[in-house]
Structure 1
Amino acid sequence: MSKQANFQPDSKSAQKWLERLLQSPNALIILFFMSALEATIVPIPLELVLIPYMIIEQKRIWTIASVALAGCLFGAAIGYYIGFALFDSVGQWFIDYLSLQQYYDSFQQTLKDDGFIAVFLVGLTPVPFQTAMLAAGAAGFSFTVFLLAAGLSRGIRYYGLAALALWLGPYAQSWWQKNASRLGWSVIGLVLLAFLVFHFT
């Protein structure tokens, strides 16, 4: 039995995308745009496709993680620009379409208080990342710092998933679903502790 048959993603949609990636000679290009779409307008966790794809294509697992990160940052740059230049029209539509108003309102103040940490933490938590993109752009927050924070947080996510796929193999998906929230909050706790120590010493 093949690795693909041993691993069953949790949704039919994810299975279709996985099959499309496996059959396409342009799989990495498709993955790039999938990651960009997930970062902007598709509220479906990329892990449902990414983890099984990494398990099946272990020989290029780090390339897959890098492409996913690049696609996410591409989508993040688009979202930032929308917030910066088109917030009153397209940006507000995004917020309404994805029901982000509450997240957006609370994130604005956090962004003012400590922008880098705010963006970084949103990249690790279940809070929709679109919130950070639109708010950072609308506030005129430094684009370089925004991309750096997004790259670090999403890099932890994608390269962490690659390491997890290598370590646990076909069991990575179920392990991730059970422990992702706990792991995410543990990382956040360590980041906040390091920030407080650095800030007050």
Structure 2
Amino acid sequence: MLKSICEKLANSRFGIAAMCLLTYLGGFIFPVPSDIMLPPMIIGRPDRWKPLMIACVLCSVAGACSAYLLGFAFASELATWAQSVNLEEINQATTLMAEYGPPILFIAAFAPIPFKTLALAAGAGAMPLAAFLPAVVLGRAIRFYIISKVTLQGLKWMQT
């Protein structure tokens, strides 16, 4: 169902706005991968893959910054809540951020692991923005570049 909704949005005049909104929300609260709209948008307009990819990177980074700010603003509340409900994912993210810092954030930004949880933990742990932003931007740029190129290659194969 979500796939058909995304495909319909991708082909509408609201496609880019919907992609940007879903990518932003996917960066910190939406439980769907932030890149769900990029392939259908590229398939619809392969000549615009670069601006679409850049829009995804910027919106995803904005979402990650929102997660960071939420973590920073509500660090003690998040810690209390995570302990009370024993959320293993948040506890693991906090441990990973404390132990590895920016490198684990870069890997999370690039790989399909719970990136928003680590961005939240980075804020809760008060990671310096000078370390947070480069890791997030580079990781997200690589991820969306690979998704764009794989989509373009798949489109090329389908047309031959």
**TM-score bucket (shorter structure):** 0.7 to 0.9
Q: Which residue of 2 aligns with 1:144?
A: 130
Change (3 A) 1:171 1:86: farther
Report the AA paired with residue 159 of structure 1. Answer: Y
1:23 matched to 2:12 = yes
> After the TM superposition, which residues 4-83 of structure 1 pair with which residues of structure 2 at under 5 Å, given as runs?
12-24=1-13, 26-83=14-71
Which residues of structure 2 form unaligned runs of 5+?
Answer: none
Normalising by the residue count of structure 1, what TM-score does the alignment of the two structures yield? 0.68
Change (3 A) 1:72 1:30: same
Moved over 4 A (4+): 91-96
Change (3 A) 1:137 1:48: closer
RMSD of aligned alpha carbons: 2.7
Q: For 1:27-60, what per-residue CA distance to the aligned partner results, in whole angstroms no more than 9, with x for missing partners?
A: 3232211101111111112444321221121011
Q: 1:141 deviation in Å?
A: 0.3
Change (3 A) 1:93 1:23: farther
Which residues of structure 1 form unaligned runs of 5+?
Answer: 1-11, 173-201
Distance 1:101 1:156 in 2: 29
Report the AA paired with residue 120 of structure 2. Answer: L
1:117 matched to 2:106 = no
Alpha-carbon contact 1:122-1:132 (below 8 Å) kept: yes
1:166 matched to 2:152 = yes
Q: 1:146 deviation in Å?
A: 0.9
Identical aligned residues as a percent: 22
Is the partner of 2:37 in helix, strand or coil? helix
Q: Which residue of 2 aligns with 1:193?
A: none
Alpha-carbon contact 1:65-1:162 (below 8 Å) kept: yes
Change (3 A) 1:119 1:94: farther
Change (3 A) 1:80 1:51: same
Distance 1:35 1:155 in 2: 13
> After the TM superposition, which residues 157-196 of structure 1 pair with which residues of structure 2 at under 5 Å, given as runs?
157-169=143-155
Distance 2:5 2:92 in 1: 36
Q: Which residue of 2 aligns with 1:86?
A: 74
Normalising by the residue count of structure 2, what TM-score does the alignment of the two structures yield? 0.84
Report the AA paired with residue 115 of structure 1. Answer: G
